Protein backbone atom coordinates (compact mmCIF):
# COMPACT_ATOMS: atom_id res chain seq x y z
CA UNK A 1 0.00 0.00 0.00
CA UNK A 2 1.10 3.55 -0.74
CA UNK A 3 0.21 7.04 0.35
CA UNK A 4 -1.34 8.66 -2.71
CA UNK A 5 -2.29 12.31 -3.13
CA UNK A 6 -5.01 13.14 -5.64
CA UNK A 7 -5.08 16.75 -6.78
CA UNK A 8 -8.22 17.69 -8.68
CA UNK A 9 -11.52 16.26 -7.43
CA UNK A 10 -13.91 16.89 -10.28
CA UNK A 11 -16.14 14.18 -11.71
CA UNK A 12 -13.18 12.02 -12.70
CA UNK A 13 -10.70 12.77 -9.94
CA UNK A 14 -13.15 12.22 -7.10
CA UNK A 15 -14.17 8.82 -8.40
CA UNK A 16 -10.57 7.77 -9.02
CA UNK A 17 -9.71 8.85 -5.48
CA UNK A 18 -12.58 6.73 -4.18
CA UNK A 19 -11.19 3.71 -6.02
CA UNK A 20 -7.82 4.21 -4.33
CA UNK A 21 -9.49 4.34 -0.92
CA UNK A 22 -11.40 1.15 -1.70
CA UNK A 23 -8.09 -0.51 -2.66
CA UNK A 24 -6.69 0.26 0.78
CA UNK A 25 -4.29 3.08 -0.02
CA UNK A 26 -3.80 6.02 2.32
CA UNK A 27 -5.25 9.03 0.53
CA UNK A 28 -4.42 12.73 0.68
CA UNK A 29 -6.67 15.09 -1.28
CA UNK A 30 -6.66 18.69 -2.43
CA UNK A 31 -9.06 20.65 -4.59
CA UNK A 32 -9.52 24.35 -5.32
CA UNK A 33 -13.04 24.00 -3.93
CA UNK A 34 -12.46 22.24 -0.59
CA UNK A 35 -16.10 21.14 -0.28
CA UNK A 36 -15.56 18.64 -3.06
CA UNK A 37 -13.28 16.68 -0.75
CA UNK A 38 -15.87 16.29 2.03
CA UNK A 39 -17.22 12.88 1.01
CA UNK A 40 -13.71 11.46 0.60
CA UNK A 41 -12.62 12.92 3.94
CA UNK A 42 -15.64 11.29 5.57
CA UNK A 43 -14.40 7.98 4.16
CA UNK A 44 -10.90 8.44 5.59
CA UNK A 45 -8.99 10.69 3.22
CA UNK A 46 -6.77 13.40 4.68
CA UNK A 47 -7.32 16.94 3.35
CA UNK A 48 -4.30 19.08 2.49
CA UNK A 49 -4.19 22.86 2.68
CA UNK A 50 -2.21 23.22 -0.56
CA UNK A 51 -0.84 21.16 -3.46
CA UNK A 52 2.62 21.47 -1.85
CA UNK A 53 1.37 19.96 1.41
CA UNK A 54 -0.38 17.14 -0.45
CA UNK A 55 2.85 16.35 -2.29
CA UNK A 56 4.93 16.38 0.90
CA UNK A 57 2.63 13.80 2.48
CA UNK A 58 2.56 11.36 -0.44
CA UNK A 59 4.64 8.72 -2.18
CA UNK A 60 2.66 9.20 -5.38
CA UNK A 61 0.92 12.39 -6.51
CA UNK A 62 -1.85 12.11 -9.11
CA UNK A 63 -3.07 15.19 -10.94
CA UNK A 64 -6.49 15.10 -12.62
CA UNK A 65 -7.17 18.60 -13.89
CA UNK A 66 -9.13 20.32 -16.63
CA UNK A 67 -6.42 21.74 -18.87
CA UNK A 68 -2.74 22.78 -19.15
CA UNK A 69 -3.39 26.11 -17.44
CA UNK A 70 -4.89 24.37 -14.40
CA UNK A 71 -1.91 22.02 -14.24
CA UNK A 72 0.48 24.95 -14.35
CA UNK A 73 -1.46 26.72 -11.58
CA UNK A 74 -1.33 23.80 -9.15
CA UNK A 75 2.18 22.60 -10.01
CA UNK A 76 4.10 25.86 -9.93
CA UNK A 77 4.54 28.63 -7.36
CA UNK A 78 5.43 28.59 -3.65
CA UNK A 79 2.42 26.42 -2.72
CA UNK A 80 2.47 24.26 -5.84
CA UNK A 81 3.20 20.56 -6.19
CA UNK A 82 6.79 21.16 -7.23
CA UNK A 83 7.44 22.96 -3.95
CA UNK A 84 6.43 19.85 -2.00
CA UNK A 85 7.87 16.90 -3.91
CA UNK A 86 11.05 15.13 -2.83
CA UNK A 87 13.38 12.60 -4.41
CA UNK A 88 11.12 9.82 -3.06
CA UNK A 89 8.01 11.22 -4.79
CA UNK A 90 6.55 10.11 -8.10
CA UNK A 91 4.24 12.54 -9.89
CA UNK A 92 1.67 10.91 -12.19
CA UNK A 93 -0.03 13.38 -14.54
CA UNK A 94 -3.37 11.81 -15.55
CA UNK A 95 -5.14 14.80 -17.08
CA UNK A 96 -5.54 15.37 -20.82
CA UNK A 97 -3.05 18.19 -21.30
CA UNK A 98 -0.96 17.14 -24.30
CA UNK A 99 2.76 16.42 -24.71
CA UNK A 100 3.85 20.08 -24.47
CA UNK A 101 2.48 20.44 -20.94
CA UNK A 102 4.18 17.19 -19.92
CA UNK A 103 7.49 18.47 -21.30
CA UNK A 104 7.09 21.72 -19.37
CA UNK A 105 6.38 19.83 -16.16
CA UNK A 106 9.34 17.50 -16.69
CA UNK A 107 11.66 20.46 -17.23
CA UNK A 108 10.71 21.95 -13.87
CA UNK A 109 10.97 18.83 -11.70
CA UNK A 110 13.58 18.84 -8.92
CA UNK A 111 16.37 16.28 -9.38
CA UNK A 112 15.40 12.73 -8.53
CA UNK A 113 11.62 13.20 -8.68
CA UNK A 114 9.90 10.61 -10.86
CA UNK A 115 7.31 11.58 -13.47
CA UNK A 116 4.83 9.50 -15.46
CA UNK A 117 2.19 10.77 -17.85
CA UNK A 118 -0.85 8.51 -17.68
CA UNK A 119 -4.01 10.07 -19.16
CA UNK A 120 -7.16 7.99 -19.18
CA UNK A 121 -9.71 6.92 -21.76
CA UNK A 122 -13.21 6.72 -20.34
CA UNK A 123 -15.66 8.85 -18.43
CA UNK A 124 -17.19 9.02 -14.96
CA UNK A 125 -18.83 5.58 -15.11
CA UNK A 126 -15.52 3.94 -16.02
CA UNK A 127 -13.74 5.94 -13.32
CA UNK A 128 -16.27 4.77 -10.75
CA UNK A 129 -16.07 1.12 -11.79
CA UNK A 130 -12.29 1.08 -12.16
CA UNK A 131 -12.42 0.22 -15.86
CA UNK A 132 -10.50 3.15 -17.36
CA UNK A 133 -7.95 2.58 -20.10
CA UNK A 134 -4.73 4.22 -18.92
CA UNK A 135 -1.94 5.15 -21.36
CA UNK A 136 1.31 5.33 -19.40
CA UNK A 137 4.45 7.08 -20.58
CA UNK A 138 7.74 6.93 -18.71
CA UNK A 139 10.78 4.78 -17.93
CA UNK A 140 10.07 1.07 -17.57
CA UNK A 141 11.25 0.65 -13.95
CA UNK A 142 9.12 3.56 -12.74
CA UNK A 143 6.11 2.35 -14.71
CA UNK A 144 6.38 -1.14 -13.25
CA UNK A 145 6.76 0.24 -9.73
CA UNK A 146 3.40 2.01 -9.92
CA UNK A 147 1.43 -0.44 -12.08
CA UNK A 148 -0.30 -2.00 -9.02
CA UNK A 149 -1.64 1.38 -7.90
CA UNK A 150 -2.76 2.34 -11.41
CA UNK A 151 -4.39 -1.08 -11.70
CA UNK A 152 -6.94 -0.02 -9.07
CA UNK A 153 -8.17 2.57 -11.57
CA UNK A 154 -8.38 0.44 -14.69
CA UNK A 155 -6.13 -1.21 -17.26
CA UNK A 156 -2.77 0.56 -17.52
CA UNK A 157 -0.74 0.11 -20.71
CA UNK A 158 2.87 1.22 -21.03
CA UNK A 159 2.97 2.99 -24.40
CA UNK A 160 6.51 4.40 -24.42
CA UNK A 161 8.80 7.00 -22.85
CA UNK A 162 7.66 10.11 -21.02
CA UNK A 163 5.18 12.02 -23.17
CA UNK A 164 3.94 8.92 -24.98
CA UNK A 165 0.91 8.67 -22.72
CA UNK A 166 -0.17 12.20 -23.59
CA UNK A 167 0.41 11.48 -27.26
CA UNK A 168 -1.61 8.25 -27.12
CA UNK A 169 -4.54 10.02 -25.49
CA UNK A 170 -4.63 12.65 -28.25
CA UNK A 171 -4.55 9.92 -30.89
CA UNK A 172 -7.50 8.21 -29.21
CA UNK A 173 -9.45 11.44 -28.78
CA UNK A 174 -8.85 12.49 -32.37
CA UNK A 175 -11.21 9.70 -33.44
CA UNK A 176 -14.03 10.81 -31.14
CA UNK A 177 -14.68 14.15 -32.80
CA UNK A 178 -14.51 12.78 -36.33
CA UNK A 179 -17.00 10.02 -35.51
CA UNK A 180 -19.47 12.49 -34.01
CA UNK A 181 -19.19 14.77 -37.02
CA UNK A 182 -19.66 11.88 -39.48
CA UNK A 183 -22.65 10.55 -37.56
CA UNK A 184 -24.26 13.97 -37.29
CA UNK A 185 -23.75 14.72 -40.96
CA UNK A 186 -25.07 11.30 -41.98
CA UNK A 187 -28.27 11.95 -40.04
CA UNK A 188 -28.51 15.45 -41.49
CA UNK A 189 -28.19 13.95 -44.99
CA UNK A 190 -30.88 11.39 -44.21
CA UNK A 191 -33.19 14.18 -43.03
CA UNK A 192 -32.46 16.24 -46.11
CA UNK A 193 -33.21 13.33 -48.43
CA UNK A 194 -36.41 12.45 -46.64
CA UNK A 195 -35.21 9.16 -45.15
CA UNK A 196 -37.05 8.43 -41.88
CA UNK A 197 -34.87 8.38 -38.79
CA UNK A 198 -35.64 4.75 -37.91
CA UNK A 199 -34.58 3.65 -41.39
CA UNK A 200 -31.51 5.88 -41.20
CA UNK A 201 -30.42 4.21 -37.97
CA UNK A 202 -30.96 0.77 -39.48
CA UNK A 203 -28.77 1.74 -42.41
CA UNK A 204 -26.08 3.22 -40.16
CA UNK A 205 -26.01 0.07 -38.03
CA UNK A 206 -24.52 -1.75 -41.03
CA UNK A 207 -21.69 0.78 -41.46
CA UNK A 208 -18.34 1.35 -39.70
CA UNK A 209 -20.06 3.84 -37.36
CA UNK A 210 -22.80 1.34 -36.50
CA UNK A 211 -21.81 0.82 -32.88
CA UNK A 212 -21.70 4.57 -32.27
CA UNK A 213 -25.07 5.06 -33.98
CA UNK A 214 -26.63 2.34 -31.82
CA UNK A 215 -25.03 3.70 -28.65
CA UNK A 216 -26.14 7.28 -29.23
CA UNK A 217 -29.56 6.63 -30.76
CA UNK A 218 -31.56 6.93 -27.49
CA UNK A 219 -30.00 10.31 -26.72
CA UNK A 220 -30.48 11.58 -30.28
CA UNK A 221 -34.12 10.49 -30.40
CA UNK A 222 -34.94 11.88 -26.95
CA UNK A 223 -32.90 15.05 -27.34
CA UNK A 224 -31.41 14.37 -23.89
CA UNK A 225 -27.63 13.98 -23.71
CA UNK A 226 -26.60 12.90 -20.17
CA UNK A 227 -23.38 14.61 -19.14
CA UNK A 228 -20.38 12.30 -19.38
CA UNK A 229 -17.84 14.55 -21.07
CA UNK A 230 -18.52 18.28 -21.25
CA UNK A 231 -18.45 19.87 -24.68
CA UNK A 232 -16.22 22.64 -23.30
CA UNK A 233 -13.61 20.00 -22.42
CA UNK A 234 -14.03 18.40 -25.83
CA UNK A 235 -13.22 21.80 -27.35
CA UNK A 236 -10.05 21.91 -25.24
CA UNK A 237 -9.10 18.40 -26.37
CA UNK A 238 -9.64 18.97 -30.07
CA UNK A 239 -7.56 22.14 -29.79
CA UNK A 240 -4.80 20.09 -28.13
CA UNK A 241 -4.97 17.55 -30.96
CA UNK A 242 -4.54 20.20 -33.63
CA UNK A 243 -1.86 22.08 -31.70
CA UNK A 244 0.16 18.89 -31.26
CA UNK A 245 -0.28 18.05 -34.94
CA UNK A 246 0.92 21.50 -35.95
CA UNK A 247 4.00 21.12 -33.72
CA UNK A 248 4.73 17.81 -35.42
CA UNK A 249 4.11 19.26 -38.92
CA UNK A 250 1.21 16.85 -39.47
CA UNK A 251 -1.84 18.08 -41.39
CA UNK A 252 -5.22 16.86 -40.08
CA UNK A 253 -7.94 18.35 -42.30
CA UNK A 254 -10.62 15.94 -41.01
CA UNK A 255 -9.87 16.83 -37.40
CA UNK A 256 -9.90 20.52 -38.32
CA UNK A 257 -13.31 20.12 -39.95
CA UNK A 258 -14.65 18.22 -36.93
CA UNK A 259 -13.38 21.02 -34.70
CA UNK A 260 -15.59 23.48 -36.60
CA UNK A 261 -18.68 21.56 -35.47
CA UNK A 262 -17.43 21.39 -31.87
CA UNK A 263 -16.79 25.14 -31.86
CA UNK A 264 -20.15 25.88 -33.48
CA UNK A 265 -21.99 23.77 -30.89
CA UNK A 266 -20.17 25.51 -28.06
CA UNK A 267 -20.96 28.93 -29.51
CA UNK A 268 -24.61 27.85 -29.73
CA UNK A 269 -24.62 27.55 -25.93
CA UNK A 270 -24.06 23.82 -25.55
CA UNK A 271 -20.67 24.07 -23.84
CA UNK A 272 -21.91 22.89 -20.43
CA UNK A 273 -23.68 19.87 -21.89
CA UNK A 274 -22.32 16.55 -23.08
CA UNK A 275 -20.10 16.68 -26.14
CA UNK A 276 -22.34 14.27 -28.02
CA UNK A 277 -24.92 17.06 -28.27
CA UNK A 278 -22.84 18.24 -31.23
CA UNK A 279 -24.80 15.65 -33.23
CA UNK A 280 -28.07 17.44 -32.47
CA UNK A 281 -26.46 20.76 -33.34
CA UNK A 282 -25.39 19.42 -36.75
CA UNK A 283 -28.86 18.13 -37.61
CA UNK A 284 -30.54 21.30 -36.31
CA UNK A 285 -28.16 23.47 -38.33
CA UNK A 286 -28.92 21.46 -41.46
CA UNK A 287 -32.68 21.95 -41.01
CA UNK A 288 -32.34 25.70 -40.59
CA UNK A 289 -29.92 26.13 -43.50
Q: What is the DSSP string of 9-72?
A: -SHHHHHHHHHHHHTT-EEEEE-SSGGGGHHHHHTT-EE-SSHHHHHHH-SEEEE--SSHHHHH
Q: Model confidence over 9-58: pLDDT tens digits?
A: 999 999 999 999 999 999 999 999 989 999 999 999 999 999 999 999 99
Q: How far is CA 139 from CA 9, 123, 245, 264, in A?
A: 27, 27, 24, 41
Instruction: Supply the pLDDT for residue 116.
Output: 98
Does 3-160 carry CATH code 3.40.630.30? Answer: no
Backbone φ and ψ for 90, nearest 5 degrees, come out as -115, 125
| Annotated catalytic residue, options 19, 56, 57, 169 | 169
Does 167-288 carry CATH code 1.10.357.10? Answer: no
Nearest to 262 by CA among 288, 248, 242, 287: 242
Q: Is 157 helix (H, G, I), strand (E, B) or coil?
A: strand
Q: Where are the domains of the chain?
A: 3-160, 167-288
Taking CA 57 as the corner, what is the angle to CA 56 and CA 59, rounded to the nearest 5 degrees?
90
Q: How far is CA 47 from CA 4, 85, 204, 235, in A?
A: 12, 17, 49, 32
Instruction: Supply the pLDDT for residue 103.
Output: 96
Could you say which residues of the chain have pLDDT below 50?
none
Instruction: Supply the pLDDT for residue 289.
Output: 65
236 is catalytic: no
Instruction: Supply the pLDDT for residue 288.
Output: 79
Whole-angstrom Cα distance, residue 50 to residue 80? 7
Amino acid sequence: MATVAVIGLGGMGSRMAGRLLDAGHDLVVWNRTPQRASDLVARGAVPADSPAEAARRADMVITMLSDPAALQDVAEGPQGILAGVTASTTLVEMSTVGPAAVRRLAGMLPDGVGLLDAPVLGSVSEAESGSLRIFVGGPEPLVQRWMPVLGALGSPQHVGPLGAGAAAKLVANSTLFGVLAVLGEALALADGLGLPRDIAFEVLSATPVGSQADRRRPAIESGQFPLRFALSLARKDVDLVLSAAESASVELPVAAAARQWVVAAQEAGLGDGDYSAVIAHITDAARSA
